[in-house]
Structures are given as C-alpha cells and as structure tokens.
Amino acid sequence: MKRKNKPTKPANLFADISGIIEKARQQIASVANLAMVYAYYEIGRHIVEDEQQGKKRAEYGKQVLTELANKLTEKFGKGFSFTNLNQMRQFFLAYSAKANQILQTPSEEFNPKFILSWSHYLILMRIEKVEERRFYEIESAEQQWSVSQLSRQYHSSLYERLSLSRNKNKVMQLASKGQEIETAKDLLKNPLVLEFVGLKEESAYSETDLETAIIGKLQDFLLELGKGFLFEARQKRFTFDEQHFFVDLVFYNRLLQCYVLIDLKTSDLKHQDLGQMQMYVNYFDRYVKKDFEKPTVGILLCKKKTENIVKLTLPENANIYATEYNLYLPDKSLLQQKLVEWTEEFNALEKGN
C-alpha cells in the first residue's frame, strides 16, 4: 500500500513561500545593483570621452557636468548630482584599460568584471595602487565583506601587513589571487591590529583584560585573523603529570586542517614564553590532533618581540610564531614606505645572486 504524503501545514506553507519570495527579491536587488555598477562605468566612459573631445579645461568639465546633472536629475530623480557624476568619471578612470594593463591583461580584450556593490567601489576606486585595489576587491568578494568591513581592512593596512609577512612571489599573488592559506606562515600578519577591543595604548591592562576584550569582539577578531578560523575555546585546560595548564585561545583553521593556539603577552616576549608555547603545541600534537590533521600551530601575540630571541629559542621546524599587536590603526604611509624599502632590498639581493 502506497504511503500518502502528509499535507503541508498552512504555517509551514507560508514560511516556505515567504522564504522563496525573500530570496527572489534579494537576487533581484543584487542583479539590479550590479547592473547599476556597469551603468555607472559606462556613464563615466561617456563623460571622459566627451571631455577628451572638448576643451581641456577644468571650467569646461565642471560646466558640462553641472548641466548634465541638472538634466538627469530632472528626468530620473536623485542619484545623478554633480558629485555622483564626478565619482562615475573617477570610477571609469580607475578601472579603465590603462589601469588593467598594469595587471598585464591585453587592453583590446579588456572588459571589466564587477562583482561588488557601488558602495564598495566608492572605496576601492580611491586606492591608487592597482595591485592593492585588486587585492581588496578579491577579498571583499570571497569573504563577503560588508562596506564597513572593507573600509576597516583598508584603513588597518591589511595589504601592507600581509605583504611585509611574505616573500616577493607571495606578494605578487595577492593582486591576482588574494590571500591564499597554504602554510602556517600564510596565517601571519605583522602586526595584528586590535583597535576594535577598545583598550588604550597608554593605560595599564592585564592579559586577562586583553583576552576578555577579544572575546567580547570575537567576530572582529576572527575578521582580523583572516581566512578559515573557527573559535573553539578560551582558557582551554589540559592536565599533564597532575599539573593544570591553560591555553589562552584555541582556534581551528579549516583551510589548513589544524589547531591554532594563541597565547597573549602584554609585555615584551621572553624565551620562557616560547618554551611554554612549545609545550602546548607538543601536547596538542600528541594527545589532541587526529591522524588526518596537520601539525598544531602556536602563535604568541605580544606587545613587542625580538627576532633573535625567537630564532635562538626555537628549532626551525617548531611551527611556532611570534607576532606583535597594536591597539591602534597603523600609520598607512609608514607601512607603505617599509614595503617599498623591503621590495628594494629584495630586488638588490636577487641581482646580487
């Protein structure tokens, strides 16, 4: 005897259909927003081409845009002010074939592919360095950053901090592939920026205060850590030889398939701190991780580190790293200058070899 399907309850039917309608509306809105981004690019193209045919004077451009803004606003309503039209002009100039040639794409084949909202591009088009702009565009799409998250990552100099933590080949990949997580070193940023925790640089605070502040802003901390992190525990206890030990923060990175242990140090890093982390990593590798998982990674997040102490204390394959943190947004121009100097030194070493 065939079993009859139970009729759908009215409440469930309403919920199911409501979900379908809401999803369709979201898709329509997304398509419409993307269509407007392409439209703004074309508007920018026409404005630039018209300028090139006319007098090359600032007064000419301003006059034309003002008249155009008035006519478009009269016909289509808000959204086509002088300021907005000028932004569309800048948008085209930023994403035109000339800019794309820097990324080594033949200009005759170049058709821009836009994947984000107009609000995202209002931030991106102001980034002068094409490689840096492309990095933030890729990461915004892959990580589904909101506009505020994109703004925060840019102002925290994420591109420069990742670049300074990588070799030259990895830096070049940032513009074409975004941040790729293949090894434990790819997780690192120097420094980690924790301005969102609300602690003041000049005030006294303990490691417990820092830990509590991070847990209170866990979503922001995960965003700053980067791709693939899952939070497991705070003050994770394990017992060995009848002694209790506590790891400040335990994460799991699904991309590397390994545990990531973080210990917080509000003072300068000492060799004892590195030894302690070595024990934590060894314990997790021997008693916690499964056979299919990769070796545990240990990260000491400290106020200040001395590279020589790290090198002398740990074996080369220890899988333990020390990185500094800031409680304020870094000086972007200073990091940019450091990146230029680092690139020049790297190029000089390559020529010498």
- CATH number, domain at 305? 3.40.1350.10
In a domain, 267, yes or no: yes
pLDDT of residue 108: 45
- Of 114, 134, 149, the one marking the end of a domain is 114
Contact 159, 190 (CB under 8 A): no
Question: Token digits for 98?
Answer: 């000339």
- pLDDT for 112 equals 78
Q: What is the pTM of this model?
A: 0.81
Per-residue model confidence as pLDDT tens digits over 122-145: 999 999 988 899 999 999 999 999
What is the chain's length? Answer: 353
pLDDT at residue 100, rounded to an integer: 57
Query: Is there a domain that residue 251 lies in?
Result: yes
**Dist CA 196 CA 327 (whole Å):** 8
Q: What are phi and psi of 155, to 5 degrees?
A: -70, -15
Shared domain check, 306 and 217: yes
Domain assignment present for residue 60? The answer is yes
Last residue of a domain, one of 75, 95, 114: 114
Do residues 160 and 335 make contact, with C-beta atoms less than 8 angstroms apart? yes
Q: Is residue 145 part of a domain?
A: no
The answer to whether the bond into 330 is cis (omega within 30° of 0) is: no
H or E, element range at 323:
strand 320-326
Closest CA to 320 of 348, 301, 298: 298
Please tell me the total count of domains within the chain: 2
What integer pLDDT is reported at residue 6 of this predicted model?
Answer: 55
Considering the domain boundaries, does residue 103 fall inside one?
Answer: yes
Distance CA 16, CA 13 (A): 5
Within a domain: 169: no
Task: Supply 144's token pair.
Answer: 């589904």
Q: Which amino acid is located at 169 in the chain?
A: N
- 158 backbone dihedrals φ, ψ, rounded to 5°: -55, -45
Structural domain for 223, as ranges:
192-329
106 and 18 fall within a common domain: yes
Which residues of the chain fall below pLDDT 50? 1, 102-103, 106-109
